């Protein structure tokens, strides 16, 4: 299960690379959910700081696996380069890091 989740995460991250055949789109700031705070100055933690705080406060492996799955699913619904996709992947990575910190993986 853990290896499968790690493989899915790796595939999602690889799929997020810009597709050279796809034309560039302008930033989709109008599509950013109102509860998201995109912080362009911190590319490692885009999105809402409260989401990171919630993820980092979790100590239940099952809840963290759910966070990871939810954010990966959200990312897959968006086009590469979309700000919502970028934020969802960052949240998934935060959940994955927390899983590793707790020894869940």
| Dist. CA 105–CA 31, nearest whole Å | 34
Question: For residue 44, what pLDDT is reported?
Answer: 77
Please count the other Cβ atoms lying within 10 Å of the Cβ belonging to residue 45. Answer: 16
| Dist. CA 95–CA 80, nearest whole Å | 21
Question: For residue 34, what pLDDT is reported?
Answer: 45
**pTM of the model as a whole:** 0.63
Domain layout of the chain by residue ranges: 1-15+44-105
Question: For residue 105, what pLDDT is reported?
Answer: 85
Question: For residue 45, what pLDDT is reported?
Answer: 87
Along the chain (105 residues), what's the average pLDDT of each consecutive run of 10 residues?
59 53 44 49 81 95 96 94 93 96 93
Question: For residue 37, what pLDDT is reported?
Answer: 52
């Amino acid at each position: 299960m853990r290896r499968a989740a790690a493989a899915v995460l790796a595939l999602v991250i690889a799929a997020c690379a810009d597709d050279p055949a796809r034309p560039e789109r302008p930033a989709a700031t109008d599509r950013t959910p109102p509860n998201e705070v995109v912080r362009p100055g911190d590319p490692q933690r885009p999105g809402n700081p409260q989401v990171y705080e919630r993820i980092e406060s979790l100590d239940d492996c099952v809840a963290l696996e759910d966070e990871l799955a939810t954010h990966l699913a959200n990312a897959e619904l968006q086009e590469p380069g979309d700000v919502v996709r970028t934020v969802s992947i960052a949240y998934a990575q935060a959940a994955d890091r927390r899983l590793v910190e707790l020894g869940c993986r």
